[in-house]
Structure 1
Amino acid sequence: MWELALVGVILAPTDAALGQQAFSNKRVPALVRGGLGVESGLNDGLVLPFFVLALAAAGEGEGHPGVVVTFLRALLLSGAIGLAAGWAGAGVLRWSVARDWSTPAWRQFLTFAVPVITYALCATVEGSGFIGAWVAGLAFGGRLRGASSGRVARAEGPGPTQSATFSERLGLLLASVSFLVFGAVILGPTLQHLTWRMVVYALISLTAVRMLPVALAMADAGLRAASVAYVGWFGPRGLASLVFGLLAFEEHLPGTTLLNGVIAVTVGLSVLLHGATAPFLGNRYGDWFARTLRTEPGLRENALSADNAPGIRGPHSP
């Protein structure tokens, strides 16, 4: 049961890197683009606690820490470390900027250092470095957004946009390299042991398992069926699923081989199907939106103007 839960959790988060064309197409209404971007930026962190607990439960009794110990270390302790590190890092950044002790270029390295330091601290106490780094990012960005105006703002204040440029570009580069390694090292051997069950589940995971919950969650959102279908389809699985899958593989669970095969096939099909359909469906949906907007100016999808759309910068935006 817990291994099946792991499959569901690992294949739940979406990847903005794979859906970049669908998320950034300016013909798509800003409300839809922003929603997809926010989802892909948050859902990998939101599933982390469920992943850690399911992994602990699946390996319990085989020399792995139990669920209670994992909960205390991975969720509570790692979360506290992340909160403290992110809050302190943002404070140091604001303090140095206010005194003109740092330049905009070097401030970006502090932003990159915060999750690295947090991960190392969490690993030292045998906690979850990923949960710690995610919480640190929330605390770091939250404190910077609350920075006061004045000298800090005039000196290109340490807002999330200015301070995270280096981290975002590095994240995009590493994500691209990761997909190259995935295709060469992981997907190739998996295809040699491919079964029809893997393919069937991968297709179901990319369609019904994704689209039905999206439709249910957006039932009262006031969006048209075309918009709900667009959001439901563009839930590409990518780097987050691969990372979680590798972490599960290291635990040597009884069903690890099959589990990782399903993950690899699902991500591989997602790369192919979502990448191939993003330009076409984005333009078709944009045409529908433009036509409908001419006859219905109060369309819910038009609630946000393009100028006010949430920033869609990349898969690792803070």
Structure 2
Amino acid sequence: MEIKDLAPDPYILILTGAGVLIALVAWLPLALKRVPLSLPIICIGIGAAIFSLPMVTLRPLPLDYPEITERFTEFVVIIALMGAGLKLDRPFGWKRWSVTWRLLAITMPLGILAITLLGGGLLGLPWVAALLLAATLAPTDPVLASDVQVGPPKSGEEDEVRFGLTSEAGLNDGLAFPFVHLAIVLGLAATTGEPWLGEWVLYNVLWEIVGGVAAGWLIGKAFGWLTFHVPADTKLAKTGDGLIAISATFVSYGLTEVIHCYGFLAVFITALTLRRSHRNHDFNRQMHDITEQIERLAMMVLLLLFGGAMVSGLLSALQWVDIAAALFILLVVRPAGGLIALIGFKASKTEKLTLAFFGIRGVGSFYYLAYGLNHMELGMGERLWAIVGLVALLSILLHGLSVTQAMRSLDREQGRDPDAEDATPPPGLQGPAAN
């Protein structure tokens, strides 16, 4: 009698693992509601454990898979940007969004300047590499920052802290791109000697930002009309299918990139415009929920791979000075830049400190570094990935361990009871199962 091979089929193992992962996506957020841990910390730990097993031979290092790294992180970010835009209840306005403009116009440029000087001076990086590092680490992350963001559409009042951190993460990903391109342009100019300033200002700054905003607005208006305002029998909102938000994400990003403008910026503007089309319609919640579910699933896969990269040698190129610089970026550069931007802003000391401290870094930084290294010859990719990986890891640990208590304390200070039965679950930790 023939004895069958007892080794499990890899396909079956992948299927089983996917089932476990989806279960964790649904259950972990509720289990972590009052625990000083975040979903990203758990994901990285699981990924590190899986890729430490002797039978797992894959080493998910980003430099070994540069194209996949760029495209997968790109996908996760654009989904997160759509979700962030859809859940903002506050109408757009220069005065109503004043906290956002402060963080974008003051905090992020100060961060880019400080990290560039840190990289070129203390770390001994070439100035082009230091600028790329700064453009990579200056923007906050819309994916991993969900714990400090506003809740789903119409879930309750938006406090200034959650609104500020959500809107900042939505816009600064697109606005950091000119500095990534500046590093690329400077790198090319160093070898060719061609003029670069005029093209960078006119094309990478003015055209790509203005074009991205305009494209995002036009596509958002089109999807808003199709969803809420066409004749009643053919309104997309009548289908109840929130997947239209994913369609809007892909169309907005794709068409904007076709005309060589900033797709990240366009997706967030599309989301804001789509939400504005019928701000109080219940369908906004359905679009947000499906977006958030896909975002969390993709985020968990990415963080499992990040945990695997940790145990596969991602940080092996680190120097001691890099560790000090990573701590300085998280504990000094962002908080100081945030507090400077909030001088004169009407908010309590606790609110200002929370806004300044929770500048979370993560998936967006992975994308920018992958994009930059894929578009220029730099020769020090291992060290840059080690620094960015360390900053992201420290940010996930530092902010993840403190976010629950910080946001609960903020709620109590503002007269909300985070333990009440009808309290909204922590932003980013809710989904259909939590309501």
Say if 2:264 is the partner of 1:130.
yes
Paired with 2:417 and 2:269, the residues of 1 have a C-alpha distance of 30
Q: In 1, are the aligned partners of 2:317 and 2:382 still within 8 Å (CA)?
A: no
Shift of 1:209: 0.4
Say if 2:387 is the partner of 1:262.
yes
Question: Which residue is 2:130 aligned to?
Answer: 4
Paired with 1:121 and 1:103, the residues of 2 have a C-alpha distance of 23
Shift of 1:18: 3.7
Question: Which residue is 1:45 aligned to?
Answer: 174
Q: In 2, are the aligned partners of 1:19 and 1:278 still within 8 Å (CA)?
A: no
Paired with 1:120 and 1:221, the residues of 2 have a C-alpha distance of 38
Structure holding more helix per residue: 1
Say if 2:217 is the partner of 1:83.
yes
SS at match of 1:221: coil
SS at match of 2:242: helix
Paired with 2:345 and 2:424, the residues of 1 have a C-alpha distance of 18
RMSD: 3.8
Alignment of 1:20-99 (within 5 A): 20-21=146-147, 30-60=159-189, 66-67=199-200, 68-71=202-205, 74-96=208-230, 98-99=232-233
Paired with 2:299 and 2:212, the residues of 1 have a C-alpha distance of 24
Alignment of 1:301-312 (within 5 A): none
SS at match of 2:274: helix
Shift of 1:241: 1.3
Say if 2:387 is the partner of 1:234.
no
Paired with 1:187 and 1:57, the residues of 2 have a C-alpha distance of 34
Say if 2:305 is the partner of 1:181.
yes
Identity %: 22
Question: Which residue is 1:150 aligned to?
Answer: none
Paired with 1:120 and 1:134, the residues of 2 have a C-alpha distance of 13
Paired with 1:273 and 1:96, the residues of 2 have a C-alpha distance of 48
Paired with 1:83 and 1:73, the residues of 2 have a C-alpha distance of 15
When structure 1 is superposed on structure 2, of 95-104 and 118-127 the one drifting more is: 95-104
Q: In 1, are the aligned partners of 2:150 and 2:162 still within 8 Å (CA)?
A: yes
Cα displacement string for residues 148-196 of structure 1 (whole angstroms, at most 9, x for unaligned residues): xxxxx5xx4x5x3343321122112212222222222367432121211
Shift of 1:103: 5.4
Change (3 A) 1:314 1:51: farther
Shift of 1:78: 3.8
Paired with 1:311 and 1:82, the residues of 2 have a C-alpha distance of 30
Q: In 1, are the aligned partners of 2:132 and 2:183 still within 8 Å (CA)?
A: yes
Question: Which residue is 1:119 aligned to?
Answer: 253
Shift of 1:227: 3.8
Paired with 1:23 and 1:134, the residues of 2 have a C-alpha distance of 15
Shift of 1:37: 3.4
Q: In 1, are the aligned partners of 2:140 and 2:168 still within 8 Å (CA)?
A: yes
Output the TM-score relative to the length of structure 2: 0.56
Paired with 1:112 and 1:229, the residues of 2 have a C-alpha distance of 35
Q: In 1, are the aligned partners of 2:129 and 2:183 still within 8 Å (CA)?
A: yes
Code of the residue aligned with 1:4 in structure 2: it is A
Code of the residue aligned with 2:140 in structure 1: it is T
Paired with 2:373 and 2:220, the residues of 1 have a C-alpha distance of 30
Candidates 92, 98, 110, aligned match of 2:244: 110
Paired with 1:142 and 1:225, the residues of 2 have a C-alpha distance of 32
How many residue pairs were aligned?
288
Candidates 182, 207, 218, aligned match of 2:342: 218
Say if 2:314 is the partner of 1:193.
no
Query: Structure 2 regions of 5+ residues with no counterpart?
Result: 1-126, 152-157, 430-435
Shift of 1:270: 1.0
Code of the residue aligned with 1:177 in structure 2: it is V
Code of the residue aligned with 1:112 in structure 2: it is I
Shift of 1:204: 0.7
Q: In 2, are the aligned partners of 1:215 and 1:228 still within 8 Å (CA)?
A: yes
Question: Which residue is 2:57 aligned to?
Answer: none
Cα displacement string for residues 73-105 of structure 1 (whole angstroms, at most 9, x for unaligned residues): 633444433332222111111135733554555
Say if 2:413 is the partner of 1:279.
no
Query: Structure 1 regions of 5+ residues with no counterpart?
Result: 148-152, 294-300
Change (3 A) 1:131 1:20: closer
Code of the residue aligned with 1:32 in structure 2: it is V
SS at match of 2:315: helix
Shift of 1:111: 1.6
Shift of 1:275: 1.6
Output the TM-score relative to the length of structure 1: 0.73
Cα displacement string for residues 122-171 of structure 1 (whole angstroms, at most 9, x for unaligned residues): 333444432332332233233333x8xxxxx5xx4x5x334332112211
Change (3 A) 1:36 1:74: closer
Question: Which residue is 2:98 aligned to?
Answer: none
Code of the residue aligned with 2:319 in structure 1: it is T
Code of the residue aligned with 1:74 in structure 2: it is E
